[in-house]
Amino acid sequence: MHDGADQAGERRLLGASGVEVSALGFGADGWGAKLRGYNKLFGDEDLYGAYRAALDAGIDFFDTAPAYGRGKSEELLGRFRRQDGRPALIATKYDNPPFPIPLVKSPTPKALTLSLDASLVRLGLERVDLFQIHYPVPLRRIDEFADALASTVRSGKARAVGVSNFNASLVRAMHAALARCGIALASNQVAFNLLDRSIEINGVLEACRELNVALIPSVPLAVGILSGRCWRGEAPMNGVQQAYLRQSKLDPFHLRTPATLAHTQEGRMKRALSAPPAMRNLGMLFAAMQTIAETRGKSLPQVALNWLLTVDPLVIPIPGAKNAVQALDNAGALGWRLTPAECLSLNPSLSHAGTDGGS
């Protein structure tokens, strides 16, 4: 755990790239997405309010991708940046398919560079601060894609380059391949939060620490589940949250080994989705979060985000927000730090006994 006190204006480095960003970023993955409520639950004015509130709070690192809202997220982010006028650091991605798709061409280095060109047009920029490969590429093609990433830095179209959803082996391979090009691997964006802590045991966090690669938690609030509303029975899980639980490894206490996790996953999801009470097998975690929140005068999301900031100085969470209120609540995770005792209360080693009891 990182014990240094957090300041509201704290900056963190994207690995060895030399690019410095706010310790807490902003994920714009829901922007422009109709399935996420765009133009129904929130609109452009709400999003602009969120953008401005984030900058007001010292958060200047914004993450997007062409797939977010089918390019709308990038367009909105670029427009807001021009409207507001203040400096903002922008990260986007090459949206290679997450798995082979019939009749769809495999990702290529050429497609990567063309993707960045298209993103720059949508963003209205000449350069992004971080350009990432969205999904893993075959190990045998790491050198090709490393060369393509390096070319975006050399051309001045990207200040730094990173990856997303790479396992430990691929992180090491990409780091080595980029090093041969004289370029640092700046970051790896992966799922990491108090519910999904698999990177603590699968080698990803260890590899990032060893290689000085920033780790960007892509779903730091578990798509809103860590707000606690479902746990308290205040609201049912929405479709996005249910889909997240189906895809993620719901084993925050590391009770299952990789060999047994798959066998127990279905039953744990059914219990998590059952109501009432919602997610009762996670009651100890939420109870510990609630105790900290009440003592500190903080919200549950602020506790969850502060925990991530405490894990290591290389961790840069990017929670999303669709209005100014949400953006300001996220910013409330800055300016304070969980104590070692509070971190221990969220430690899975102290939560083994009874976590499945009665569920």
* Residue 64, φ and ψ in degrees, nearest 5: -140, -175
DSSP characters over 100-138: --TTSPPP-HHHHHHHHHHHHHHHT-S-BSEEEESS---
Judged by DSSP in three states, 194 sits in: coil
Query: Is omega for the bond preceding 220 within 30 degrees of 0, making it cis?
Result: no
Q: Could you tell me how far CA 246 lies from the centroid of its own chain?
A: 18
**Positive or negative, the Cα torsion across 200, 203, 206, 212?**
negative
- Beta carbons of 261 and 251 less than 8 angstroms apart: yes
Number of other residues whose CB lies within 10 A of the CB of residue 75: 18
Q: How far apart are CA 220 and CA 304, in angstroms?
A: 8
Judged by DSSP in three states, 71 sits in: helix
Say which of 38, 51, 68, 244 is annotated catalytic: 68
| Strand 11-13, strand 20-22: pairing | antiparallel
Instruction: Verify whether residue 68 is a known catalytic residue.
Output: yes
- Beta carbons of 169 and 204 less than 8 angstroms apart: no
Q: How far apart are CA 209 and CA 98, in angstroms?
A: 25
Which candidate, 88, 84, 154, 59, places its Cα nearest to that of 116? 154
Query: Which positions are catalytic?
Result: 68
